[in-house]
Amino acid sequence: MDAPIAIRDWGRCDYETVWAAMRRFTDTRDADTTDELWRVEHPAVFTLGQAGRHEHVLDRGDIPLVQTDRGGQVTYHGPGQVILYPLLDLRRRRLGARALVTRLEQTVVDWLASRGITAAPRADAPGVYVDDAKIAALGLRVRHGCSYHGLAVNIAMDLSPFQRINPCGYAGMAVTDLASLGVDCSLTNAGEALTDQLLARLSAG
């Protein structure tokens, strides 16, 4: 369904502030509320999904750990990562959670292909991978038929914190970013291009 989506840029903002705002938006919206897509970059933080297991956090060190309400296990957010949070009325769009995950994954696959990189999702672990290395992570929450949380794509970041966790619950999982693959792209350009790709995917129904 080609319903309008408002784009909101948060810039760099701490995780808990944005998470609280997502919950508030979702809990106070009604059938006429315009869907929104939030674009943000977080300072360094580990987040643990609703059913996440603390043993997957190997060495938190001085990085904050937030127990959140999305699906999935543990992941890392930090500078140099594009994060897109689709706050959508899934009932209005006639979308299920799995269909939204597929659109998010394909958004990243299509965008990476435009940069000359072959990537694909995996059936056993949500996200997008280049060979065996994860370049994008996904985690959603659906409440009252509406989605929040979303997609994180590694552009040009310090990847070492991923070695201090089992990414998404997988011990030893390799993680990469666009810069490590030899592609130079600013965070702003990446965010805008990923936004355009996702909007096109959502409009296609």
Cα angle: 86, vertex 91, 94; to 5 degrees: 90
pTM for the full predicted model: 0.96
Scored b (16 or more CB within 10 A) or e, 30-50 reads eeeeebbbbbbbbebbbbbbe
The predicted model gives 87-98 an average pLDDT of 95
pLDDT in tens, 162-202: 999 999 899 999 999 999 999 999 999 999 999 999 999 99
How many domains are there within the chain?
A: 1
Residues marked as binding for substrate? 70-77, 137-139, 150-152
* Residue 112's CATH number: 3.30.930.10
Residues with a catalytic annotation lie at 168
Residues marked as binding? 70-77, 137-139, 150-152
Positive or negative, the CA dihedral 103, 8, 44, 82 is: positive
Q: Band of the pLDDT at 126, cuts 50, 70, 90?
A: confident
The rounded mean pLDDT for the chain is 95
Question: What is the extent of the structural domain holding 95?
Answer: 5-202
